[in-house]
Amino acid sequence: MKSYRFRALLQNDGWIENPTVSVDESGKIISISHDETDVEFINGFALPAFQNAHSHAFQFAMSGLAENHAGEDDFWSWREAMYSLALNLNPDEMKTVATMLYAKLVRHGYSNVSEFHYVHHDKNGNAYNNLAEMGEALIEAANEAGIKITLIPIFYQKGGFGVEPNERQRRFISKTFDDYARLFEASAQICKRYVNTNIAVGVHSLRGVEMSDILRAVNDLPQDVPFHLHISEQLKEVEDCVNFLGKRPVEWLLENVELNDRFHLVHATHLTNAETENLAKSKANVVLCPSTEGNLGDGIFPLRNFQKFGGAWSIGTDSHIGLNPFEELRLLDYGQRLISHKRNTFGEKGGLFAINQTTAAGRKAMNNFQPDFFAVGADFDACIIKSDEPLLSNTNLENLASTIIYTADVSQISGTFVSGKFIRKDECYNRIKWNFIDAVKQFR
């Protein structure tokens, strides 16, 4: 058993001052008390560790490389640069890139990542002997970096609505539902071999899979795991869907799938008022990635209306152009302020409301339905903020959560607890950075 005392620990309804958290050998919380016997004092504020509900790890290697804009440039031209990278990474390079990314995520206060993984095949588009070869590289990377991973092998079948895949998508494609089911099962079996690893079902998008096969993925694969899906990210995607199906993407999904809180819809940027209300009432979660959505010019999600109807949301870093969870929350809020001309996106509780929202829905993306930030019997996963930071050291507890959310960056994080293990800020990062530099120099 180990015991740690903090300046304060954040629970769903507010801060506990000077608590002692005791954990067992597996990193589960035994008690939260004010016992000061045989404890290690950490001069910091303990937040629930962040949940990164949407990641394409390989895209971290191209951060900043698609910013030389020759003529018109949008999501679809950015996608061509992404294909170039995806076509050239081998499993070892994938692992190295992902290890660097995941180490940086832990450094930024994340304990969990949902990996929306679709680079399945070799460079010629052929399946590996181990169908989950690339997925296992990602799992090994997460284990090395010390982050928990939910692997989401993605069903990707088409090049667009009614369009066959193009040659640049060859590493992504499962031609039939049965092909995807075999990939999913192979991935699930691999996940069982590793600690802090689990599985989810994922469909790339409505444009990426036949409608009948989407419904099979929803209904015929395990029902006790999360289901992740890109939807309504781009205006062209919405227009193409209307032309092909006679319905908007979220409209079609609401009419054809019995949504619940198992579902995690990524982006959902372009919604009508009716879609926003009905999606919120369905209890499906939306995953928002503000730094990537801004970088790609996607648009701004109608968060204020979604929240008005009780909608649940989490955050992800997607293409990893930004990694700071505090920045993701700030961008999310500031986007709403700019279009509404009001400052109360997160209501009277401000930063505490934002942390509650992204923690609850983010955990569900990882198949964790624990509602309490820190509970006896749960893993001790915490982001530790230095309490001697000038802005924070004398801030009263009523204002502390908001001060952290609206001012913090990675320099104020001393480390992250993942299953009771305290990973200090630069621990894994320093160990593997030279491997990463060697692996990506050919792409950069």
List the beta bridge partners of residue 17: 8
Token pair for 208: 């990426």
Half-sphere exposure of 437 (CA within 13 A, CB side): 6
The whole-angstrom separation of Cα 227 and Cα 364 is: 10
Task: Specify whether 54 is catalytic.
Answer: no
Count of beta carbons in the 10 Å neighbourhood of residue 51: 28
Ramachandran category for residue 422: left, alpha or beta (phi over 0 → left; psi -120 to 50 → alpha): beta
Active-site residue 379, yes or no? no
Query: Residues 324, 409: contact at Cβ < 8 Å?
Result: yes
Dihedrals phi, psi of 209, to nearest 5 degrees: -145, 145
Name the pairing type of β-strands 227-231 and 20-23.
unpaired
- Taking the C-alpha atoms of residue 311 and residue 187, their distance in angstroms, rounded to an integer, is 31
Q: How far apart are CA 350 and CA 344, in angstroms?
A: 8
Distant-in-sequence, close-in-space partners of 122: CB < 8 Å, separation ≥ 6: 128, 171
d(CA 35, CA 415): 23
Annotated catalytic residue within 204, 230, 264, 267: 267
Catalytic one among 240, 298, 318, 333? 318
Q: What is the DSSP string of 104-172?
A: HHHHTTEEEEEEEE---S-TTSPPPSSTTHHHHHHHHHHHHHT-EEEEEEEE---SBTTBPPPGGGTTT
User: How many residues does this entry show for the chain?
Assistant: 444
Estimate the crossing angle of helix 249-256 against helix 211-220, to 10 degrees. Answer: 50
| CA angle (174, 156, 436) in 5-degree steps | 100
CA-to-CA separations, 329 to 306, 322, 350, 369, 401, in angstroms, rounded: 16, 12, 11, 22, 12
User: With contact defined as beta carbons under 8 Å apart, do 375 and 23 qualify?
Assistant: no
The set of catalytic residues is 267, 318
